[in-house]
Homo-oligomer: A and B are copies of this chain.
Amino acid sequence: MDKPHIALIGMGLIGSSIGHALKRGDLAAQITGYARSSQTRQKAQNIGFVDHVADTLQEAVTGADIVFLNVPVGMIADIVKDMAASLKQGAIITDVGSVKKSVMDAVNAHLPEHAVFVPAHPIAGTELSGPEAGFAELFDNRWCILTPDADTDKQAVATISDLWQAMGSDVEIMDADHHDLVLAITSHVPHLIAFNIVGTAADLEAVTQSEVIKYSAGGFRDFTRIAASDPVMWRDVFMNNGEAVLEMLARFSEDLTSLQRAIRWKDGEALEKLFSHTRDIRRSIVEAGQDTNDANFGRGESPHKSGHKSD
């Protein structure tokens, strides 16, 4: 089968990384990029993770076999509406959004009959944004979840699945609602918690912001990384996965209140029991290859590996 002509709509962290990964694997006959901002288009041109930069959305998707939507999910409906007439027969639209049900609803409302949509979500990212942030290795050894429904063309699903594997990821097929629940707990609520604690710390009267920053190596700094993630992307995630997030948040808060009681009533046994349990979970994550074995995330400060047992 011929290599596809691929269009990248949106060229931030994810879009640019896809460009780099496609080039690394020589996976496309041509890569055309488009972004709203002319500044981004210029930077993409300079960096070179696309072969051609289009000046309009319609131009970008013309002749494309595969169109990647790499934009905040809140923008997807309008984009699909605006590109619909320019899509070739049998074009495959796919996305990278962190929520799936609402994206599918948004796309399906405007998808022309002659195109196919394969919903996808690569579980990968850094806290950086923009075309300069991307790199080819972002998706290596990460999971990419696809959430086709019963009507989605199976050949198109296979095409997108193969492409993500060629870009370094493992692919999992999942029901869209289940995806949204899983991601609520593994990603959305952790981010919300991080955003929250950084905000709470910033608002204290008795402890200055400079003290919080100075002494952040005590644990706080780990939270600030993901609290530095793209504000627009995350706003759209919470606006579009409200139900699952609220369910997980309710459980989180119930459990936190329980811990709070244990602290107030000095129930040391309950505390120690939970803390021992959570240590085991960390071990499993490292063993599953989903995080580094280096202590302190390998921030260059320790020669030791997490797997290293003692006492």
- B183→A218 contact, CB < 8 A: yes
- A138→B302 contact, CB < 8 A: yes
Within 8 A of B (CB), among A219-240: 219-232, 234-236, 238-239
Residue A64 lies at the interface, judged by CB distance under 8 Å to chain B:
no
- B308→A187 contact, CB < 8 A: no
For A256, what are the chain B residues with a Cβ–Cβ distance below 8 Å? 192-193, 196, 249, 253
Known: A224-B285, A297-B297. A185 touches B200 (CB 8 A): yes
Residue A46 lies at the interface, judged by CB distance under 8 Å to chain B:
no
For A193, what are the chain B residues with a Cβ–Cβ distance below 8 Å? 193, 197, 223, 256
Within 8 Å by CB of A216, from B40, B186, B232, B235, lies B186
- B295→A299 contact, CB < 8 A: no
- B222→A275 contact, CB < 8 A: no
Within 8 Å by CB of A219, from B40, B187, B201, B255, lies B187
Residue A3 lies at the interface, judged by CB distance under 8 Å to chain B:
no
State how many angstroms separate the Cβ of A196 from the closest Cβ of chain B.
5
Within 8 A of B (CB), among A125-143: 125-133, 135, 137-138, 140, 142-143
- B278→A224 contact, CB < 8 A: yes
For A224, what are the chain B residues with a Cβ–Cβ distance below 8 Å? 278, 281-282, 285, 291
- A182→B207 contact, CB < 8 A: yes
- A252→B285 contact, CB < 8 A: no
Within 8 Å by CB of A214, from B212, B255, B290, B309, lies B290
Oligomeric state, in number of copies?
A: 2
Within 8 A of B (CB), among A242-281: 242, 245-246, 248-249, 251-253, 255-257, 259-260, 262-264, 266, 268, 271-272, 274-279, 281
- A215→B135 contact, CB < 8 A: no
- B231→A276 contact, CB < 8 A: yes
Residue A12 lies at the interface, judged by CB distance under 8 Å to chain B:
yes
Q: Which of A126, A183, A191, A283 has the most CB of B within 10 A?
A: A126
Residue A1 lies at the interface, judged by CB distance under 8 Å to chain B:
no
Q: Which of A203, A218, A268 has the most CB of B within 10 A?
A: A218
For A302, what are the chain B residues with a Cβ–Cβ distance below 8 Å? 126, 128, 135, 137-138
Residue A173 lies at the interface, judged by CB distance under 8 Å to chain B:
no
23 A–B contact pairs at CB < 8 A? A37-B311, A123-B217, A129-B311, A131-B310, A132-B308, A133-B295, A142-B217, A182-B215, A185-B204, A187-B219, A190-B197, A193-B223, A195-B259, A198-B281, A200-B248, A200-B255, A213-B285, A214-B288, A216-B285, A221-B285, A228-B283, A235-B268, A236-B268
